Amino acid sequence: MINKNMLMVTRNLSKDKQFTNNDVKPLVVMFPWLLARKKHVFKYYDIYLSRGYDVLSVSITPWQFFWPITGTQVVASDLVDYLYNCSRQTFFVHGFSVGAYLWGECLVKLNSDLAKYSMMMSKIKGQIWDSAADITETSKGLPQAMFPRNAFLKSTMEKYVDYHLRTFYDTATQHYLRASQLFHTTPVRAPSLVFVSKNDPIGSVIANIKAKESWDSMGMKVYWKCWEKSRHVSHLMLHRDEYLAALHSFLDSVENELQQNIVKKVSSLGV
């Protein structure tokens, strides 16, 4: 554990690949959904560990979400500082639900000094977004995450979230909006894979299409996997074969492109 919000998960042996040292091993920065259970998140860790990657899991609490200046932005700053000083050469980002907001806060910091962080951002080779939730879905997503089986508390929390967004604009809402803006106009132009379903009210297909259209307009490669029916952050469980096929195909394509670029670079040097 790096700190209370950041956990490094690694495995020395890989079933499929061997990397000679930790600097070479790709690092997946994973943003789990709010209040995610370890046994559920570990299923995603295993996918990457089996490929020989390491995983850096970064999470926030509901309190940190509600009060971003002293909460989420501190976590985002710690993460950016860690990645900036990290010797890894390849990063991937994999976010779920409100994890998209946490990454948005990271992008706010990166965007504040593009010259400083350009080298770090160039190491990000791929992004995976699963059920990404925008600010427009906050009042639905947060109560569902906190009280999935209690209708009364869920309804009460929905009313509070709406109140919170209206009342605390300066200390909360404006920061959510800025993070959302940076998520859509990201300075990180690495290819993205989006998992979404048409019946998900939290990570809505409409909000995800808006993000995709924005990324398309910037020339980013965007791979899209949309189901007619699924469940928020449960696509792997409900559509395992399709999910894994799309994810591994995406990762393989990124790895192949990286390998081709290395070959071209070596050839240009006459080695």
To which residue do tokens 């997946």 refer?
28
Band of residue 19 on the pLDDT scale cut at 50, 70, 90: low
pLDDT, residue 127, reads 98
Rounded to whole angstroms, how far apart are CA atoms 104 and 99?
8
pTM of the model: 0.92
Distance CA 130, CA 110 (A): 22
Helices (H) and strands (E) in the chain, counts: 11, 7
- Give me the torsion for CA of 218, 226, 37, 19, rounded to 10°: -60
| pLDDT, tens digit, 9 for 90 and up, residues 132-183 | 999 877 777 788 878 888 999 989 998 999 999 999 999 999 999 999 999 9
Q: Which CATH code of 1.20.1260.120, 3.40.50.2300, 1.10.1060.10, 3.40.50.1820 fits the domain covering 6-11+23-134+173-251?
A: 3.40.50.1820
Provide mean pLDDT across the span 89-108: 97
Between CA 222 and CA 40 the distance in angstroms is 26
Contact 254, 191 (CB under 8 A): yes
pLDDT of residue 129: 98
In 10 A of CB 124, how many CB atoms?
18
Query: Which amino acid, one-letter code, is at 66?
Result: F
User: In this model, does residue 271 exceed pLDDT 80?
Assistant: no
Q: What is the pLDDT of residue 143?
A: 85
Task: Please give the Cα distance from 212 to 206 (Å, whole number).
Answer: 10
Q: How confident is the model at residue 94 (pLDDT cuts 50, 70, 90)?
A: very high
Q: Give 112 or 17, the one with higher predicted confidence.
A: 112
What are the pLDDT digits (tens) for 213-259? 999 999 999 999 999 999 999 999 999 999 999 999 999 999 998 88
Look up residue 8 and give its amino acid: M
**Mean pLDDT value of segment 126-137:** 92
**What is the share, in percent, of the chain residues with pLDDT greater than 70?**
93
CA angle 34, 238, 157 (to 5 degrees): 30
Structure tokens at 103: 């990454």
The 3-state DSSP composition of the chain as helix, strand, coil percent (nearest 5) reads: 55, 15, 30
Give the mean pLDDT of 171-197: 97
Residue 23 confidence (pLDDT): 67
More confident residue, 155 or 21: 155
- Helix ranges (H only) for the chain are 38-49, 62-66, 72-84, 99-111, 114-122, 138-146, 151-167, 174-184, 205-217, 235-238, 240-268
According to the model, what pLDDT value does residue 166 have?
A: 92
Domain boundaries, the chain: 6-11+23-134+173-251
Percent pLDDT > 90 in the chain is 80
